[in-house]
Amino acid sequence: MKFLDLAKVYIRSGGGGAGCVSFRREKFIEFGGPDGGDGGRGGSVWAEAVEGLNTLIDYRYQQHFFAKNGQHGMGSQKTGKSGDDIVLKVPLGTEILDEDEETVLADLTEPGQRVLLAQGGNGGWGNLRFKSSTNRAPGKANPGIPGVERTIWLRLKLIADAGLVGLPNAGKSTFLSAVSNARPKIADYPFTTLVPNLGVVGIDGREFVMADIPGLIEGASEGRGLGIQFLAHVERCKVLLHLVDGTSSTVTKDYRTIVQELEAYSDLLGDKPRILALNKTDAMDAKQISDRRRALEKASGGPVHVISGAAGKGIPEVLRALMVEIRGTGGEQEEGGPWQP
C-alpha cells in the first residue's frame, strides 16, 4: 500500500427539494384545499476517523464527493425523499484544512469522531404550509436551499508515541526493525526511507508506537529534501529519539543541524522532550565512543545513550527512557516494582 499524507478533495452537499403546489381533487369535494408536500433534505458530507487506516491513498483516485439532492415534494401531502449523506473515512490523526491549506477545520484523533463538512440544504415548503384563515388556497411553494460546494485538504499526521529523528543514514530504520516487527527498507546509502514507518515496540511488558521519519537535512524546515513533508508527523509524538551516527567525524554538527531544523519548523517540536543516542557504536573503538559521547553531552547539556541498532547494544535502556517520557512518570516506580504490566 502506498503512503499518502496529503490529499485535495472537492465536496458538495445535496440541495433541498422544492416544495409542491397541489390541491385536493376528489369527487364531490369542490374546494379540497392545498395538499402540496415539502421537499426532501439534501444529503450532507461528513468526515469520520476510523481505525485500520494509515494512509490517504484512496483520495488520490477519487477526489470528488457529491451528495444527492432531496426529492421534490408531491401532492397528497407527500414529503420528498431526503438525499443520502456521504461519509469520508479517514485515518486517525487526520486534519481537515480549508482551501488555503492553513485554516484547520477539524482534527480527528479519536475512533468514531465525526465532523460535518458540508450541510445539506433544507427542502422547500409545499403550499400546504402557507394555508391560513385568510389564504385558503395558497398558490406558492418554496424552492429548496442549494447545497454547499467547497474544496478541502486532508492532511494526515501519524499518531505515534515516539518519533525517530536524525540525519539520513543515522540508523533509524535499522533501530526500528530491531525493536519492533516493522520492516522498513535498509541500505547503505542516504534517503533509504522515503515514507514514515510505524512499529509497535515492547519493553518490560508494555508497548508503545514508534515512527521512523525520513532523514532530515540542513534547510529541511525551509523545504529542502524530504524532511519538511514529514516533520508534521512527529508533532503528535510525546517524545523524540534523536539518533546521531557515531561513525561521523562531525557528531556535534550533526546534532545541532537536527535541533535547529526542529526548532525552525515549529515551537512545538523545539520544546518536545528529546532523548539523544549515539548510534552505530559496534563500528567504533572505545576511545572514539568516549570522545564523541563526551562531545555530544557537552553540546546537548544532557545524557547521551550509547547504542547499536545492528548489534542490539544499549537498546533496552533507551526504550525504558522513552517509556518514562511517554507515561510521564518522571522515573517513579509504581507499586509492585518497576515496569509491572
pLDDT higher at 217 or 185: 217
Annotated ligand binding at 191? The verdict is yes
Annotated ligand binding at 169? The verdict is yes
- CA dist 307 and 191 (Å) reads 21
Q: Cα–chain-centroid distance for residue 262?
A: 19
Per-residue confidence band for 332, with pLDDT thresholds at 50, 70 and 90:
very low
Annotated ligand binding at 172? The verdict is yes
- Which triple of cell numbers denotes residue 313? 547494544
Q: pTM score, two decimals?
A: 0.70
- Which triple of cell numbers denotes residue 16? 433541498
Work out the average pLDDT over 284-290: 90
Work out the average pLDDT over 105-131: 92
pLDDT reading at 339 higher than 80: no
- pLDDT at residue 216, rounded to an integer: 67
Annotated ligand binding at 329? The verdict is no
β-bridge partners, 197: 212
Residue 287's H or E segment, with its range, is: helix 286-300
β-bridge partners, 150: 11
Annotated ligand binding at 142? The verdict is no
Distance (Å) of CA 219 to CA 22, 164, 259, 269, 319: 69, 18, 12, 15, 30
- CA dist 313 and 62 (Å) reads 47
Work out the average pLDDT over 236-243: 88
- Contact between 280 and 254 under an 8 Å Cβ cutoff? The reply is no
Annotated ligand binding at 215? The verdict is yes
- CA dist 262 and 259 (Å) reads 5
- pLDDT at residue 72, rounded to an integer: 95
pLDDT higher at 183 or 78: 78
188-210: pLDDT as tens digits: 444 445 567 777 888 888 888 88
Annotated ligand binding at 257? The verdict is no
3-state percent helix, strand, coil for the chain, nearest multiple of 5 = 25, 25, 50
Annotated ligand binding at 173? The verdict is yes
Ordered domains of the chain (ranges, CATH): 1-156 (2.70.210.12), 162-327 (3.40.50.300)
